[in-house]
Amino acid sequence: MNNFNWLYSLWMIVGPFVGAYIGAAISDKVWRRQKQWEMRRDAVVDVICAQDELERALLFLDKDTKTHFESCFTKFYRARFFAELIVGEELKESILEYFKEIGSIAKMIADGNSEYFANPETKNVLKQKSNAVIHSARKELNIKNK
């Protein structure tokens, strides 16, 4: 019985410190996981917003100067680069496929084929690539698709 009293007394002294350490370790792990999710969320939101701006700029590429489109393209490229450091492979791949598609459309328009984007097939392919990015983004953030 004497050993039990000694052990109990020791636990009463050390126990709160052990509990605090375990609590801090768990809180730190949860905090780090939350921060990583927030970084993923921010990267995904930046890509989606830049994608939207880039598509709107593409609509007027043949009418405007190329400066606005190039600015949006650069913004999307930066968002894409940052996202690729953080997000999973599926989203990386869909962003890259979208990036290639919109780049080829822009090149055709810049080369003087201003009607290229008016082609329903071209718009359909870009829409599919755009939707793939959005679908992958929702999946990356664990948001249920409708």
For residues 55 and 16, give the distance between their C-alpha atoms in angstroms, rounded to a whole number: 58
| 3-state SS assignment for residue 63 | coil
pLDDT digits (tens, 9 = 90+) for 1-47: 455 566 556 566 766 766 666 666 667 777 778 888 888 889 999 99
pTM of the model: 0.74
Domain 39-140 in this protein, CATH class? mainly alpha
